[in-house]
Structure 1
Amino acid sequence: MFLGKANNYNTYLSPVIVFSGVLENYGAGKRTVEINYDPERKMICKYVPGGGTFWRAGGEIVVSEEEAKERAVEFYKKFIGDEYNDHENDIISVRDYGDISKVFCYVDINTVYKGVVYSYDSTRVVYGMRYDRVRDYINHQGNYDIMSQITTLSPNPGVTIEEAKQILKDYSDVDIQDGYVRSPLRLVWELPFIKKDDNKMHYITIDAHTGEIIFYE
């Protein structure tokens, strides 16, 4: 859904959704915001600026990265309401995107269920450190009850990361980088690697319980 707004609240067109703690438009002209609403969970799961100008170039940093992280998490708590009881032990991290990360704090919140971190079941909150406001809110976390249906294997791998790397070495002549858990359906090791003959980044996914090669790119 897209909603347009002029500078005065009285000029809103119905239906009206008014947010607090988010970036207002800067200067004259129309702005648009993309908003996605989940009718089953009765929750807004996306708020992202579309067209228009939302912030000026330059200006001093008024909120530290740590403060921005804390305020982004508080914003997240308010948005998901009672569902936060299921997510209070989730993994919270701050992404570094170079110079833009000096202005905006990119906070990722990944679901944890029975010790397994779900990389793709996550929420991102982008907080403006010059403006002390949220810019983006994108919630890709599904219904927490589903986790009990898909997390059926042990969260403890039967294959260590070193054994996974050895499987990769036996499979192909490569330079190994590092590995991390990727899949929300199986416990896996995902290993990025560079092939000596093409010097390009590839990926192999190995089942962390059986050692089976699931995916090779």
Structure 2
Amino acid sequence: MKKHYQKIPFCILAACMFFVILTSGCTYNGPNPLENTPATPTNSVTAETTQSVQSGSTQPTVSWKDFYPDHTEQEKSQLIEKAKDEILRVFPTVDRSTLNGEWVEHARTNGAGTEMIGSPYIDFENLEFSSGENREFVIEVDPESMKVIYYSPYKGTYSSAKITYGEGKEKAVEFIKKAQGGDSIADDPDAYTVMKNEYASGGRPMASVSYYKKFNGVPYESNRVSAEYDLSRDKVERYFDYTANPGLLSGLTTLSPEPDITLEEAKQIFENKISGKYDLDELELEYSETSSFDTYLLWWDDDNIVYADDPNPIPLVWFITCSDKDSREEYEETGVSPESGAFIIDAHTGEIYWLKYGEISIKKYLS
């Protein structure tokens, strides 16, 4: 039979994820990719027949505008200067003369020409360090919290590790605390934590640390802080702070954390959607969590939801990946991830927000 599966580009969810999806070396005890839940027989459950009033639903009374006021050009210039001071606090050896900040608005267009929305930020491109680096970097600063929210080189070249993974992990955590200041997610005992040793799996010499916010025991899919520590240079290589303003996030998380749609019903909705094109008996589908998490149930805090002008509540979703017989056979031969599909389904209504399997693709934002 001709292979029809397609590896999933999860980075569109990071627009949903760094969702770079974390797999090997994680500290949680996730499932073996070849020992996952078998598919259940398809029956009459559909998204249409499972629509219901969302449990505990209340319309949000906040929006991003409550936390990001309009600024005059003079105010923007003053905030850019403050942002330079914050950058030098976190990165003392940055050459201040290379810091040329540009204000990025809530609505913008990315390099590919795609219209986007998100929190406003101050962008510093092509900055340089006064010593110790011969590469250029980009840094972004939130103008209201006045915190660094993004840091990365334009390119990476790596050599053998000079410090251990354990040392790199500890230094990554310390950097997160330094960048975030006194109230760091690294000190939150309820945060969902993912640690990854890329070097141990033959990858880059990196220790990766991520902390995800949770509400009522359920992790947010995107609200996280991540740091990659370069074991060969003994310094932070990349840093991301994708946490929304706490007041905005809590004001949009108004739904019940208890799903109305069961996990098995969510799988059936997916199977019903693809069964018109594919023979489920031949596929032999098996299901697993996304590799950044050891849970299927998440708050889906996509920017198109969180930063909408008239926002809906952040939905509770089932986020599920699957493998089929062909992809598992390829995994045995090549070691390539056996995931062949994924889907996001509203855990209260059964609506499909995102689905990818073979030639079937669905992408729906709530805004």
Which residue does the alignment assign to 1:19? none
Question: 1: distance between equivalents of 2:250 and 2:354?
Answer: 25
Which residue does the alignment assign to 1:49? 153
State the Cα distance separating 1:149 from its structure 2 match: 1.5
State the Cα distance separating 1:197 from its structure 2 match: 10
Matched, 1:62 2:160: no
Contact 2:185 2:225 (8 Å CA) reproduced? no
Change (3 A) 1:12 1:61: closer
Which residue does the alignment assign to 2:211? 109
Match of residue 297, structure 2, among 154, 174, 181: 181
Write the letter of the residue equivalent to 2:210.
Answer: D
Query: Secondary structure of 1:210's partner?
Result: coil
Alignment of 1:182-201 (within 5 A): 182=298, 183-184=300-301, 185-193=314-322, 201=340
Write the letter of the residue equivalent to 1:209.
Answer: H
Match of residue 24, structure 1, among 110, 113, 132: 132
Write the letter of the residue equivalent to 1:104.
Answer: M
**TM-score for the superposition, normalised by structure 1:** 0.73
Which residue does the alignment assign to 2:258? 156
Contact 1:34 1:50 (8 Å CA) reproduced? yes
Alignment of 1:132-171 (within 5 A): 132-171=234-273
Alpha-carbon RMSD: 3.8
Greater mean deviation of Cα atoms: 66-75 or 183-192:
66-75
Higher strand share: 1
State the Cα distance separating 1:164 from its structure 2 match: 2.1
Match of residue 99, structure 1, among 198, 202, 206: 202
Change (3 A) 1:148 1:76: same
Contact 2:186 2:211 (8 Å CA) reproduced? no
State the Cα distance separating 1:33 from its structure 2 match: 1.8
Change (3 A) 1:170 1:86: same
| Percent of paired sites with the same residue | 29
Contact 2:173 2:186 (8 Å CA) reproduced? no
Query: Secondary structure of 1:83's partner?
Result: coil
Which residue does the alignment assign to 2:343? 204
Count of residue correspondences: 200
Query: Secondary structure of 2:345's partner?
Result: strand
Greater mean deviation of Cα atoms: 130-139 or 163-172:
163-172
Alignment of 1:70-89 (within 5 A): 70-84=170-184, 88=188, 89=190
Question: 2: distance between equivalents of 1:178 and 1:198?
Answer: 14
Question: 1: distance between equivalents of 2:271 and 2:251?
Answer: 34
Match of residue 37, structure 1, among 109, 134, 141: 141
Query: Secondary structure of 1:166's partner?
Result: helix
Write the letter of the residue equivalent to 1:128.
Answer: D
Change (3 A) 1:204 1:157: same
Greater mean deviation of Cα atoms: 109-118 or 172-181:
172-181
Question: 2: distance between equivalents of 1:11 and 1:49?
Answer: 13
Query: Secondary structure of 1:78's partner?
Result: helix
Gaps of 5+ in 2: 1-79, 85-91, 100-130, 290-295, 302-313, 329-338, 356-360, 362-367
Question: 2: distance between equivalents of 1:67 and 1:169?
Answer: 45
State the Cα distance separating 1:186 from its structure 2 match: 0.8
Question: 2: distance between equivalents of 1:91 and 1:139?
Answer: 15
State the Cα distance separating 1:91 from its structure 2 match: 1.3
